[in-house]
Amino acid sequence: MRRPADGARVTPDFVFAGGGDMGALCRAHDWGGTPLGAVGGWTQSLRTMVGAVLNSRNPMLLFWGPELVQFYNDAFRPSLGDDGRRHPAALGACGRAFWSDVWDTIGPQVDGVMSRGDAVWFEDRHLPIDRNGRREDVWWTYSYSPVRDDDGSIGGTLVVCLEVTKQVRARAEIAAAEQRLRDVVEQTTLAVAVLEGPDHVYSLVSPRYAAFGGARQYVGRPIAEVLSELRPSGIFDVIDRVYRTGEPYVESERAFLLDRDRDGVPEPYVFDVGYLPLRDAAGQVYAIASVTTDVTAHVTARRALESAQVRLQQALLSADAARQDAERARTAAEEASRAKSEFLATMSHELRTPLNAIGGYVELMEMGIRGPVTSEQRADLARIRASQRHLLGLINEVLNYAKLETGAVRFDLEAVRADDALRAAEALVVPHVRAKGLALTVAPPPPDVVVRADREKLQQILLNLLSNAVKFTPAGGEIALGASAEGDVVRLRVRDTGIGIPADKLESVFEPFVQVRGDLTRTADGTGLGLAISRDLARGMGGDLTVESAVGVGSAFVLALPPSTSA
């Protein structure tokens, strides 16, 4: 802070130069009516310190003198509330009287600074204050430091104070959501485990999963240490690859040698295994979810059926035994399929609740309900919201697929004009088309082109096809939407000039959990269920979904539906 020229008068304009709104309030304040007296009589140390506080971007409060007269800057002002009761009354007030609501706690801390020069620091300290006309629960990270006067004595206490209420509450909500997920995993009857970090250390293990290996300690230990007898199977290399690439791995009927009874002799088992990458808010893989089903009995039954069929050809007398084996194999297969679908549905439902809670609290924080939000905090909240919405979208997609598999989807068929369906889908996708720099053309069919369909599910199919077209069409490309009546069928088409699909992959794109070009979808991760769900919905309405495509030329998806006999 520059000193006044020799002989110059020390004025409020000089002492409180700059400082934003609080600087202006300080210049207008009657300091002669405070224990400090007029500005011209202040010591150099006080003038310098006040200038430093007012012009700092960190929230600061300064107590000065035996009466602890207060100064504070623009960054500290929001901590006093917005109702005008504490600000600007705090300026020039004596600290003991002004902070009477919390002086029992902070008074000894300030006294320690003023009397002994003890500097103190507190992190995430719960310190409720009277603010905005009520008692508010508030958390702070703050420090108290001594400030020396011109004669070397302690003249005041500098408070550097940051309100961290939003951060503390957000961490609490995230911890609660994680605990709910932990409860789901630990209480499920399915075999589920979570492996964290590059060493794949168990952090969550369901009872069914733990039962696979017998009496072992799982949590806190790497899978390669807990299930060391699996190393020859190569499964640890598979898990490493999932963690490294972020690509899920699913395999049916993988054989293992497992020492379940812990007698030192591994026995053969067969499992359906799935390893799904779990990503943090930054999109990085931090853990792997392992979903395992013991299908040893099912495989054994199927192989027994195959053997029985051979024996049936050799001897008609074994026909009855073969039929019994076949029935047992069919029952085992249905139970395995049902278990998978129930797991997907259960996990999707349970995960949506904490994710919706996270989204709600992020919205409250963005609205400033708990206080002002800085630009850095708003950026962090945006990343949290993006991750929450992305994960919720994936979970909803998995839940829709689970409903289709279990036959829980109901179709309300009615007469739907093809033109209405196309226009509704166009309206939903136009913002994404424009944002990517694509051209979208719609060729409306005649008004008498009417399909028999579930209006909502028809909309879902068209929106999924258009979204895929936008995702896989480079900027400057074109998307066309149209429909036509062709005999006893109505065809709705979505064409694009995107990257196209290899000929040998045209059928596999409709299989669940399949992404034809994983390297091209990393910027828009998905489960690979969209087209599988769309085709199942089309067939559920008595139609079908097909595709024609060529690499580098584009793709044309055709939704065929029966026409309606009534408009």
Residues 149 and 189 in one domain: no
Here the CATH number for the domain that contains residue 557 is: 3.30.565.10
**Neighbour tally for 519: CB within 10 Å:** 8
Residues 106 and 221 in one domain: no
Residue 367, CA atoms < 13 Å, CB-side half-sphere = 7
Residues 144 and 272 in one domain: no
Residues 430 and 556 in one domain: yes
408 assigned to some structural domain = no
The number of domains in the chain is 3
395 assigned to some structural domain = no
368 assigned to some structural domain = no
Task: Tokens for 219, please give them.
Answer: 């949590």
Chosen domain end from 314, 349, 383: 314
Chosen domain end from 280, 296, 314: 314
Residues 175 and 119 in one domain: no
Residues 505 and 467 in one domain: yes
Helix (H) / strand (E) element for 556: namely strand 554-561
Which value, to the nearest 10 degrees, does the dihedral of the CA atoms of residues 234, 238, 243, 245 take? 130
339 assigned to some structural domain = no
* DSSP-H helix ranges across 266-318: 296-314
386 assigned to some structural domain = no
Q: What's the CA angle centered on 460, arms 385 and 431, to 5 degrees? A: 55
Which value, to the nearest 10 degrees, does the dihedral of the CA atoms of residues 205, 208, 213, 219 take? 10
399 assigned to some structural domain = no
CA 396, CA 348: separation in Å to the nearest integer? Answer: 7
Please give the span between the terminal C-alpha atoms of the chain, in angstroms, as a whole number: 82
Here the CATH number for the domain that contains residue 299 is: 3.30.450.20
Phi, psi of 410 (to 5 degrees): -105, 135
357 assigned to some structural domain = no
What string of DSSP letters covers 115-141? Answer: HH---EEEEEEE--EEETTEEE--EEE
Mean pLDDT in order along the chain per 10 residues (567 residues): 48 91 94 94 95 94 96 94 90 94 93 93 92 90 95 95 89 75 67 90 86 83 91 92 94 89 86 89 87 88 86 72 72 61 60 62 69 78 63 55 62 91 89 91 90 91 91 93 91 93 83 58 55 89 91 92 81
Residues 174 and 306 in one domain: yes
472 assigned to some structural domain = yes
- Cβ–Cβ under 8 Å, residues 59 and 161: yes
Range of the domain at 40: 12-163
CA 411, CA 296: separation in Å to the nearest integer? Answer: 37
pLDDT in the model for residue 564:
87
Chosen domain end from 135, 163, 191: 163
Task: Tokens for 184, please give them.
Answer: 């789901």
- pTM, rounded to two decimals: 0.41
How much of the chain is in helix, strand and coil states, percent to nearest 5? 45, 25, 30
Place of tokens 């200038």: 51
Residues 136 and 21 in one domain: yes
Q: In this structure, what DSSP letter does residue 217 have?
A: -
Residues 459 and 531 in one domain: yes
Nearest to 268 by CA among 300, 238, 290, 236: 300
Residues 180 and 296 in one domain: yes
Residues 41 and 56 in one domain: yes
Long-range contact set of residues 340-344: C-beta below 8 Å, sequence gap at least 24? 340/272, 340/293, 340/405, 341/402, 341/405, 341/406, 342/190, 342/402, 342/406, 343/188, 343/190, 343/192, 343/291, 344/398, 344/399, 344/401, 344/402, 344/405
User: Helix or strand or coil: residue 513?
Assistant: coil
Helix and strand numbers (H, E) in the chain are: 15, 19
Residues 133 and 275 in one domain: no
